[in-house]
Amino acid sequence: MPADLHLELILALPRPIMLQRILKQGTVLGVRRFHLIRSRRVEKSFFHSPVLEPGKMRALLLEGMEQAMVTRLPEVTLHHQFRPFVEEVLPTLTGRGLIAHPGVSDTLTTLPVGHDPGEPLLLAVGPEGGWSEYELERFVDAGFHPFSMGERILHVDTAVVALLAQLRLLYDLRSR
């Protein structure tokens, strides 16, 4: 991502092994803040994973920083309940909201993004299989634009890396 791109990742908490990959690779690809949230398809036990210990998360973020040669440590915030997140936290976040969801007709290239590298972005990625209809509706009500990555269902870690790379390319191409 361009150094000045402000991107926050809202992520339905994935399996611990995937979270490790996402924290590191998301940092490499420029995520400034991770919001790890509960959704209907997230197992409660994931919130008790040793990966969520501050020291472990910091080590993963530092690995990503070293690889990317950056000095800004991303923030990580845990949100144990979906509804308080969308009702209390989401309205305080600034930026264009994008939400990945299978079966939606729009794609990243059809959305009005990528023209202003300084525009803050909020990218929401759900669990494998996507968000519940209720969750998707709450994000759309908050102004998020739903889009699809195609017909294939991807593992969350693959989807996050692919989306971040696509956003980088989109901004690089559209800012010329």
CATH classification at residue 148: 3.40.1280.10
Question: How confident is the model over 106-126, as pLDDT tens digits?
Answer: 988 888 776 676 789 999 999
pTM of this structure: 0.94
- Would 2 be classed as within a structural domain? no
- The C-alpha atoms of residue 61 and residue 73 are separated, in whole angstroms, by 7
Q: What is the pLDDT of residue 176?
A: 66
Q: Is residue 85 part of a domain?
A: yes
Q: Is the confidence at residue 2, as pLDDT, over 70?
A: no
| Minimum mean pLDDT range among 17-31, 39-53, 87-101, 144-158 | 144-158
- Tell me how many domains the chain contains: 1
50 domain residue, yes or no: yes
Q: What distance in Å separates the CA atoms of residue 57 and residue 46, rounded to the nearest whole number?
A: 14
Neighbours of 42 (CB within 10 A): 20
| Residue 78 dihedral angles phi and psi, to the nearest 5° | -95, 135
Q: Which strands make up the sheet holding 145-147, listed edge to edge?
A: 75-79, 31-37, 7-12, 121-125, 96-100, 145-147
116 or 143, higher pLDDT? 143
**Residue 163 forms part of a structural domain:** yes
For residues 51 and 57, is the Cβ–Cβ distance under 8 A? yes
Dist. CA 150–CA 107, nearest whole Å? 8
Buried/exposed 96-117: b ≥16 CB within 10 Å, e otherwise: bbbbbbbeeeeebeeeebbeee
Q: For 43-63, what is the mean pLDDT?
A: 97
Say if residue 41's pLDDT is above 80. yes
Residue 68 lies in a domain: yes
Say which amino acid occupies 60: L
Average pLDDT over residues 150-165: 91
Q: Tokens standing for 135?
A: 């969750």
**Domain region containing 23:** 7-174
Residue 1 covered by a domain: no
Average pLDDT over residues 138-166: 93
Residue 114 CA to residue 170 CA, distance in Å, equals 6
